[in-house]
Amino acid sequence: MTNQYISLYNQLGYHFQDEALLELALSHRSVGGKNNERLEFLGDSILNYVIGEDLYHRFSDAQEGQLSRLRARMVKGATLAELGREFGLSEYMKMGSGELKSGGYRRDSILADAVEAIIGAIHLENHGDMAACKRVILNWYQSRLEKLSVKDTLKDPKTRLQEFLQSRQQPLPQYEVVNVKGQAHQQTFFVECRVESLEEVAYGKGTSRRIAEQVAAGEALILLGVDTREEKQ
């Protein structure tokens, strides 16, 4: 083990015996032929499996849609980039001069890909032993997983209304701002939401058009008899 990676190993909670694998995981495609794209592909699959399995056991009463949204939050690029910054990956990334000049080592997508590639490298170094990857990944994600709640998977009213109508092959709702009151810095928006299958028009108001539309969509859901108190998917 060379001294250059000691700090990184401590951050990762994992020590590579084959440093060539780590160096490959840290090599952006801009360096040429030998880069981390294949390791990234492998790591992405492993990460989705490990997080999915943990969520399955952690939230035994959650439905498939809720679990999918929780997993998506955990494995999305922004979350992976956060991990990359926590590990200090920017100091170790290998990339072409063009990427270096453009600040690629700070780019979310590059850091996220590198985290996935490291997972793939760990998997290969342990000859496909999933237990090793699982231990490392869950250690990285422990605090984030502990903060998760199924309640956070509730969709906003506009999304729920749209999906409700689409599932019944009905036209999408139509929103219209019918009035705006107040000064420019303190306005109140009044919005109508029209649904073809409803005789009544749903109304909403809020301090922005977006908020007013959400309120109107919630009213439309109530008029349609949809339970707005809990997630149904």
Please state the residue numbers annotated as binding site: 40, 113, 116
- Residue tagged active-site, from 19, 23, 37, 44: 44
Contact between 175 and 184 (Cβ < 8 Å)? no
Q: Which of 23, 53, 61, 116 is catalytic?
A: 116
The CA dihedral of 182, 183, 186, 191, to the nearest 10 degrees, is 40
116 noted as active-site residue:
yes
Q: How many CA atoms lie within 13 A of 93 on its CB side?
A: 28
Which residues are within 8 A (CB) of 52 and not within 5 positions of it... i.e. 6 or more apart? 67, 71
Query: In angstroms, rounded to a whole number, what is the distance separating the alpha carbons of residues 176 and 59?
Result: 39
Neighbouring-strand partners of residue 191 = 177, 204
- 152 assigned to active site: no
At residue 93, φ and ψ (nearest 5 deg) are -65, 140
Both tokens assigned to 221: 């859901």
Beta-sheet strand order (sheet of 174-181): 174-181, 188-194, 202-206
Q: Which residues are annotated as a binding site for Mg(2+)?
A: 40, 113, 116
Residues marked as catalytic: 44, 116
